[in-house]
């Protein structure tokens, strides 16, 4: 039984990942600002009241997990907002950078002492963070924040490989969640299943790579 810690676990993809790993028999710790009845049912432990953009909250999260090994950390908490050229809200971009890029790095650093050799970190990013794949423009804050997360994840992979910890960047697909007004192409359950398969296949040989939940490797 492994210990899986998931941020943003109270709904959507995070909740389905919590449900999937719990059903496998793993011990799941769900981290969120506010819990949900569904998360309370599936997680072994719920650590609510944690805003991953706030240093003190992340420090408290690490303290709450004192003495516990984390075999898999899934940085899932995210924020999607829209900006259009000519009316860009730079505060919106700044907030997305805090949630989508800085927070996963902050959490990974704070919990690093809990992750043993053989452990894994999975960052839920987006193909919208791929510079090579951008053929439609727009979404300035979301694209930039996910590109930053990809860069952070790649550096984490290089820095942690000597310690036996593998890191992967994962695009969940266009998923039917509240973030996109439930207009996606696949269900959260389908996305979680694909994400788990990519995590299962992650090794030190493939650390630092970027994958779609459907198994396609994505360009940076």
Catalytic residue numbers?
142
Which DSSP state fits 122? E
The residues that bridge with 211 in the sheet, in sequence order, are: 170, 217
Extended beta strands in the chain, E state: 3-7, 27-31, 45-47, 72-75, 120-124, 166-171, 209-212
Distances (CA, A) of 36 to 16, 30, 78, 81, 217: 13, 10, 17, 23, 33
Which DSSP state fits 184? -
Distance of CA 19 to the CA centre of its chain: 15
Beta pairing, strands 27-31 & 209-212: unpaired
Rounded CA separation 136/86 (Å): 16
Matching residue, tokens 């942690």 = 160
């Amino acid at each position: 039984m492994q210990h899986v810690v998931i941020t943003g676990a109270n709904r959507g993809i995070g909740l389905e990942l919590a449900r999937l790993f719990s059903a496998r028999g793993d011990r799941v710790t769900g981290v969120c600002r506010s819990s949900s009845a569904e998360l309370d049912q599936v997680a072994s432990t719920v650590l609510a009241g944690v805003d991953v953009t706030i240093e003190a909250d992340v420090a408290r999260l690490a303290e709450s997990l004192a003495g516990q090994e984390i075999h898999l950390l899934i940085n899932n908490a995210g924020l999607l907002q829209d900006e259009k050229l000519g009316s860009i809200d730079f505060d919106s971009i700044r907030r997305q950078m805090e949630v989508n890029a800085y927070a996963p790095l902050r959490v990974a650093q704070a919990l690093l002492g809990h992750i043993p050799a053989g452990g894994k970190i999975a960052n839920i990013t987006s193909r919208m963070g791929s510079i090579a794949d951008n053929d439609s423009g727009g979404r300035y804050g979301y694209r930039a924040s996910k590109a930053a997360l990809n860069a952070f994840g790649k550096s984490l992979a290089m820095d942690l490989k000597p310690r036996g910890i593998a890191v992967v960047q994962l695009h969940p697909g266009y998923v039917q969640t509240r973030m996109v007004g439930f207009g996606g192409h696949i269900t959260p359950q389908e996305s979680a299943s694909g994400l788990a398969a990519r995590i299962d296949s992650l090794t030190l040989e493939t650390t630092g790579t970027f994958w779609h939940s459907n198994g396609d490797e994505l360009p940076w």
